[in-house]
Amino acid sequence: MSKKYTLRMSADNYRDLIDHLFPGDGDEHGAVILASIVERGTEVQLLGKELHLAIDGVDYLPGTRGYRRLCANFIREKIVRARDQRLVYLAIHNHAGDDSVAFSSTDMASHERGYQALLDVARGMPVGALVLSRGAIAGDIWLPSQERATLCSTVIVGATRRVLFDRPPRSIEHDDTRYHRQSLMFGSVGQKRLSGATVGIIGLGGAGAQLAGFLGRVGVGNFVLADNERVEITNLPRIDATGLDACSWLVGPERPQWLIALGQRMARRKIDVARRTIRRANPKANVTTIFDDFSSDSVARQFLDCDYLFLAADTMRARLVFNAVVHQYLIPGVQVGAKVVTNRSTGAILDIFSVVRPVTPDTGCLWCNGLINPSKLQDECLSPKQRREQAYVDDVSVAAPSVNTLNATATAHAANDFLFHFLGLHQNDATQDYLRFRPGFRSVIFEEPRRDPACPECGERADSRRACGDLVELPVIYLNK
Ligand SMILES: [Zn+2]
Ligand SMILES: [Zn+2]
């Protein structure tokens, strides 16, 4: 079975490329993208890692056979770099036109003449070409096995998700009458697109459970859920579960310890409660449940096919891995949370807020914004025994205040962010700021995310994690037991 090739690139790279190819002179221009490669089953994803714009008259010259060509030195430098960094070399030029584009016979003839030699230099890495019009991308990829593949689609990941093809795809409409009222807003094509979407929800506590409900009801078709806890009686005010799910008849305070322990072991898993919520809303939904901590390599890897990630677990370890997945695999996401900050000795409430933080490959990362705290990260890795020995004060097992409505402020905004991102409903000037809601003041604070160009996670430097795909490991932390 032949493999399906897709390209994924960040919105800022795509914007730079389009500005370079279409400066308004109606002429042809060139560039090279070096992409990492992620293979899973029959899907092969190319992740645009480095964009090299060819300077007209220096790197991009009049051609002898075609109209223009990349100069030999430019090609050599990039193909050698591709070989050394294990990246796929993709030569780029543009054609006039809008929503469809194709290589000319001259283009194809030049691939036939030159690409075998490029494959020889690339030593085991595919090479290829892309041709862009203003709203379409076509690709011709040459594989070391001597086979050739065409690019199926290109996903541009930014505040809004765009999917580009070589020509407008045949649109399939949704015919499920239950979504009629939504289709009036999304269009029936948009509704159909949602049924093909895959979302990942990390943490199925109060916030994650609400997200599962919202997204199940709007008709998202595919879910990946990870959480390693079972329902407790104190969760019931915030999730769609009953006393039966929590085995409340076994775990009451009057019960002997052994019975409580049995009840805790028999209680329903939070992922199964969330799956039930989703299936009630949309019986056709595919739900993958993982009863484990997200921040282990084998669990995080099960989220790599997602179109969007929701981080609703508030550990530094989960933030660390979520942040890495967003930038390493160019999968956008959002972190949600609600917090009641109290004075630990007096119990007095100091602040109450909910946050929604979109994290996309082109807007900086949780490290750039000081949202991953290394000392807390270290503390989370202590065993319970080590924690007792250090008289650990900020113990995550200490119950913190938590209220359903505070979660709802964050989760409803996050679910909207996904919908507007995925269906292209955001206005061009929509803010990508983090939002902080402070119900005590009835105020919203907009926090512009910082982006450090030198950041080793999301920055532009050659050794950053950005778009590395499978070339580097995820930063998973192994816990002391
Ligand atoms: Zn051409
Ligand atoms: Zn960063």
Ligand lying closest to the C-alpha of residue 361: 2
pLDDT of residue 176: 82
Nearest-angstrom CA–CA distance, 287 and 285: 6
- What DSSP string runs through 178-201? GGHHHHHHHHHHHHHHHHT-EEEE
Average pLDDT over residues 322-346: 94
Q: Which of 344, 388, 377, 392 is nearest to 479 (CA)?
A: 377
Whether 207 contacts 337, CB under 8 Å: yes
pLDDT of residue 96: 95
Ligand 1 centroid to residue 104 C-alpha, Å: 5
Proportion of the chain above pLDDT 70, given as a percent: 97
Residue with tokens 């677990």: 313
Ligand 1 centroid to residue 169 C-alpha, Å: 22
Q: What is the token pair recorded at 475?
A: 């930063």
pLDDT tens for each residue of 296-319: 899 999 999 999 999 999 899 999
Determine which of 9-18, 237-246, 365-374, 382-391 has the lowest per-residue pLDDT on average.
Answer: 382-391
Residue with tokens 């512009």: 448
Ligand 2 centroid to residue 272 C-alpha, Å: 34
pLDDT tens for each residue of 397-450: 567 888 999 999 999 999 999 999 999 999 888 999 999 999 999 999 999 999
Ligand 1 centroid to residue 27 C-alpha, Å: 11
pLDDT of residue 67: 87
Ligand 2 centroid to residue 368 C-alpha, Å: 4
Ligand 2 centroid to residue 149 C-alpha, Å: 34
Q: Which of 376, 416, 370, 422 is nearest to 396 (CA)?
A: 376
Ligand 2 centroid to residue 173 C-alpha, Å: 39
Nearest-angstrom CA–CA distance, 196 and 189: 11
